[in-house]
Structure 1
Amino acid sequence: MSTHKLRNFVQAMTRLADEAPDEAAWLERGEALLRPLVAEDDWLPESCAEAGPGYRQYLLHCDPLERFSVVSFVWGVGARTPVHNHRVPGLVGMLRGEEVSVAMHPTPEGPLREGATDRLRPGEVVRVGSAADDLHWVANARADAPSISIHVYGGNIGAVERQTFDPATGAPKRFVSGYSNAAVPNLWDRSGG
C-alpha cells in the first residue's frame, strides 16, 4: 500500500486551507481535490478499512491547526447513524460499496420529516453544510458487505461538539464522535511510495 495519493491530497488540502476560502469555495475546490482520490481504491491503509459492528470512523489526517480532517468511515453490514448535524462543512466521497443518506428537516411541530435521499456510489462525492439545521442520517446501502467512504471536514470532526436528534420529537442530544483508531497512518514514510 502506497501513501503517496493520500499524502498528495493532504498537501493540496493544506494549501487550500492556507488560502482561508469561504465555505462555498472550500466545498467546491475541496470536492475537485477529493474526486480523484476516491476514483481509485488502492491507497487506503488496511488498518483504516476494518469493519466492525455498526460503523467506524478512522482518522487519516488532521491538520495541525484543525482547519480540516480526513477520515475513513467503514460501514458494517446494517450500519446506520442516528440523525445528526456536522457544524462544519464537509465532503463525502465513496471509495467502496454504497451508502445512502437521507436529509432530515425540522418542523414547527417538533418531529423531523424526511427530505431528499442520496445514494452514493464509488467515485461520487457529495457536500454537507455547516448549518445547525443541516441534518441527515446515513447507512450502508449494501446488505452483503461493508462500505467505505472518505470524509473531509472543515475542522477536526472527531472533536467538534455536534448533536444527534430524535426523529419523533426533534429533541437534540450533544455528542462528540471521536475516532476508532489509536494511531494515524504515517503519510510521510516514502519507503512504500
Structure 2
Amino acid sequence: MVSSTPHAPPAAADIGPLRRFVQRFTQLIDTRPAEPEVIRHGSALLAELVAQDGWLPADYARPDPARYQQYLLHADALDRFSVVSFVWGPGQSTPIHDHTVWGLIGMLRGGEDAQGFAQDAEGRWQPSGPSHRLRPGDVEAVSPRIGDVHRVGNAFTDAVSVSIHVYGANIGNVHRSVYPPEGGRKPFVSGYSNAALPNLWWAPAATPPPAAQATA
C-alpha cells in the first residue's frame, strides 16, 4: 500500500515538470479520448517530460541490487492512469510479461532494451521482431491492440537506468501475467516499491529580498 504522506524532494530536484505533466495528462484523459489519441497526445507529453532531467526526486530513482524497482509517482483518483519510475540496476531485466492496458515508456536516463514476443504454433513464446534500444528522450507505446507482451531491461551492465512509464490504470493493482519461454502463463500483481508518494506541490522556499539599507 502506498501512502499519501508527502515526501519533499531534495533541494536539487525541481518537481514542477512532473506536476505540470500530471495536470496536462489529466486534462487529456478528461476528454475521454480513444486509445490511439491517448497514445499520440500522451506520447508527446511524455516526450516533453523526459527531454529534461533534474525533476525526479532521488528517493524515486534509487536502485536495488536484487531487482528493478517500480516507484509510483502519481495515481489518478479514478484509476484512469498512473505514472511510475522504473529504476534498473546494472544488468537487471523483467521476465516476459504483459500489461493488459495501454502503456507509454519514456527513457529518462541510461538506456533500456526491449524485445517483443509472440506465441508460436506450439504455444511457446518466441521473439517477435528485432530488439530495440530506448535512449534518453525516446518514447514508445504498448497495449493489447498494438503489442503487449515483451521483456525489457537495462541496456548497461555497469550503470543505472531510469525510465518513466504511464499506464491506463493503477498498474500496481492490475492482474497481469508473466510468460515462461516454454509456454503457459503465471499470474502476478506487481505492486510498488515505495511506501510514500512524492509531493507534487513541494517547492523550495522563496529567498526573501535583501533588506533595504537605511539611509541617513
Same-fold status (TM-score > 0.5): yes
Contact 1:87–1:131, Cα closer than 8 Å, also in 2: no
The answer for the alignment partner of 2:6 in structure 1 is none
- The offset of 1:190, in angstroms, is 3.2
- The offset of 1:136, in angstroms, is 0.3
The answer for the alignment partner of 2:142 in structure 1 is 128
The answer for the alignment partner of 2:189 in structure 1 is 176
- The offset of 1:11, in angstroms, is 0.1
- The offset of 1:111, in angstroms, is 1.0
The answer for the alignment partner of 2:32 in structure 1 is 20
Letter in 2 for 1:163: S
Show the 5 A alignment for 1:2-151: 2-53=14-65, 54-116=67-129, 117-131=131-145, 134-151=148-165
Query: Which digits, 9 at most, give the CA deviation of each residue in 1:138-173, with x for residues without a partner?
Result: 01011111100000011101011110001122x111
Query: Which digits, 9 at most, give the CA deviation of each residue in 1:42-97, with x for residues without a partner?
Result: 10010000001220000000000010000000001111101000011010000000
Tell me the SS of whatever aligns to 2:24. Answer: helix
Decide which structure has the larger Cα Rg and report it. 2
- The offset of 1:183, in angstroms, is 0.2
Letter in 2 for 1:98: G
Contact 1:95–1:122, Cα closer than 8 Å, also in 2: yes
Indicate yes or no: 2:208 matched with 1:190: no
Letter in 2 for 1:138: V
Contact 2:117–2:126, Cα closer than 8 Å, also in 1: yes
The answer for the alignment partner of 2:209 in structure 1 is none
Letter in 2 for 1:152: V
Contact 1:106–1:133, Cα closer than 8 Å, also in 2: no
- The offset of 1:107, in angstroms, is 1.5
Tell me the SS of whatever aligns to 1:127. Answer: strand
For 1:132 and 1:160, the matched residues in 2 are separated by 19
Return the TM-score normalized by structure 1. 0.96
RMSD over aligned Cα, in angstroms? 1.4
Letter in 1 for 2:26: T
For 1:68 and 1:182, the matched residues in 2 are separated by 19
The answer for the alignment partner of 1:159 in structure 2 is 173
Unpaired segments ≥5 residues, structure 1 = none
Letter in 2 for 1:35: A
* Aligned residues with identical type, % of pairs: 51
Letter in 2 for 1:42: G
Residues 73 and 34 of structure 1: is their aligned pair in 2 closer, same or farther, counting only changes over 3 Å?
same
- The offset of 1:133, in angstroms, is 6.5
Contact 1:104–1:112, Cα closer than 8 Å, also in 2: yes
- The offset of 1:115, in angstroms, is 1.5
